[in-house]
């Protein structure tokens, strides 16, 4: 089955550029247009620990756990 030239060209471009194709979240970044006010001196607070949200996909290098032995 012959893959159309246009599709092949796009694959070739990906291959050549070696661009990272990590999934991009469908969340638009908000752009702040206001000038930041000078912040007061930082106050020391307790260190916060990163807790993954339910159903977050953490960066795993593209590996797949599905077979159960990965």
Partner 1 sequence: MMPEADFVSAILPILQNNSVDVLEWSFDTFYDVEEPEWLSGLLDFYAENDRLLGHGVYYSLFDARWTSRQKDWLQKLKEEFRHRKYNHITEHFGFMNTENFHQGVPLPVPLHSKTLQIGKDRLKRLQDAVEVPVGVENLAFSFSIDDVKEQGEFLEKLIEDIDGFLILDLHNIYCQSCNFEIDMQEIIRLYPLEKVKEIHLSGGSWQESAYGNQPVRRDTHDDDIPDEIIDVLPKALSQCLNLEYVIIERLGHTLDTDEKKQLFFNDFNKVKGIIEVSDFPTGETKAWNKRKGESSEPIEDLQLYHEQTKLTRILFDENTAQSVKNEAFHYFKPENWDKEMIATAQQIIKKWNPY
Residue 11 and residue 19 in contact, taking contact as beta carbons nearer than 8 Å: no
CB 8 within 8 A of CB 15: no
d(CA 38, CA 34): 12
Per CB under 8 A, 37 contacts partner 1: no
Looking at residue 62, what DSSP letter applies?
T
Candidate ranges 23-31, 32-40, 41-49; the one touching partner 1 (CB under 8 A): 23-31
Interacting residue with partner 1 among 18, 40, 42, 59 (CB under 8 A): 18
CB of 38 to partner 1, least distance (A): 37
Residues that bind partner 1 (CB under 8 A): 1-4, 6-8, 10-15, 17-21, 23-26, 52-58, 60-70
């Amino acid at each position: 089955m012959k893959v159309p030239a246009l599709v092949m060209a796009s694959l070739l471009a990906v291959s050549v550029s070696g661009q990272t194709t990590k999934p991009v979240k469908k969340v638009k970044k908000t752009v702040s247009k206001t000038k930041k006010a000078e912040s007061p001196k930082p106050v020391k607070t307790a260190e916060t620990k990163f807790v993954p949200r339910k159903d977050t996909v953490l960066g795993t290098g593209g590996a797949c756990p599905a077979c159960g032995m990965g």
